[in-house]
Structure 1
Amino acid sequence: MDVTLHIPVRRYVFKYCKTLFGDPWRLTTRHKEGIVLHAMLKRMPHRYEKYHRDDEILSLQIPAKIVCQKGVYLTQEDIDAFNDYIKQVILDEIFQFHTAIQSRVGLKAIDKVSVNQYMADKRVRLIRLQPAEATKFFWQKQIITDILSKYDITEDDLSSDSVVKHLQRYSSARYLAS
């Protein structure tokens, strides 16, 4: 018998997981996010721990096989670590896009750079740029929010300024988002 676990998570984590895995999310070990949650599962302790209230409740459907093997309990520390892990996954995706533009991967053989811009109504618009303009174009706030909107993450959930600060810490950045 499958068990549904209701986990309080941050809003951007909920939107990321809902976009990729649906609601409720059926736990499997086919994806790295599922492997992380699978590793965190434990048997129910003798003492019940209350969870901190977060923005959203993620419904996680755990198959009977995993329930018997691992259990169905996550500590608050595990939930906080999962929130931080998903934030890092999102920032790594943006960082990878930024690094590809900075190192000009694939830009030498073509005349124009194509960038997918995700619109609010789920449409995708294609923008073409000159390779010399591509590095400056990335730092526009609109590009970072477009990447986040792929998962329906808004500025209120995860601000583009915090993303820019993260990128500037971990890259050789010379431009600011405007």
Structure 2
Amino acid sequence: GIPVQRPYYCRRLHPEPELAVVLGRRTRGVSRDDAMRYVAGYALCLDMTARDAQDTCKARGLPWTLAKSFDTSCPVSDFVPKEHVADPHRLRLWLKVNGQLWQEGDTADMLFSVPELISYISEIITLHEGDVILTGTPPGVAAVEEHDELEAGIHGLVSMRFTVVQQRLGA
């Protein structure tokens, strides 16, 4: 696949495997009880975070754009229809770096359930078909280096693989 770029201004790039919830239709102000009716399916996202940039932005009260929105900052796996997922709160996410397991966790341990997230977000923002909500990452986040091989997955559903490359200034 396309390599994941560590931005030229970043020295601490952290990969965060996350369950992505894909909305199937317009959603506004939905209750927790009805929220799952709006889900089309799921995917795996690798939320790449330029942690040093994030720390600087947080300290200065600035948006996290430099930390979270650079090129290749959020690879998304193939789409998994909701019919293929019996319970989104019983999925196992994992991340290997250079073949070693760095992160593994169960979506049952998420701070907020999928219906809670959809309900809360839809109170503030109108969600549309195809919108994606990331749900958080298991413990064990650490920095990756140039040439590291990343492999992430949702056990039994989907996986993806990337190499980290260093973006050069002006490139």
Give the TM-score normalised by structure 2: 0.23
Give the TM-score normalised by structure 1: 0.23
Higher helix share: 1
Q: Which has the higher contact order (CA 8 A, sep 6+)?
A: 2
Higher strand share: 2
- The structure having more radius of gyration, on CA atoms, is 1
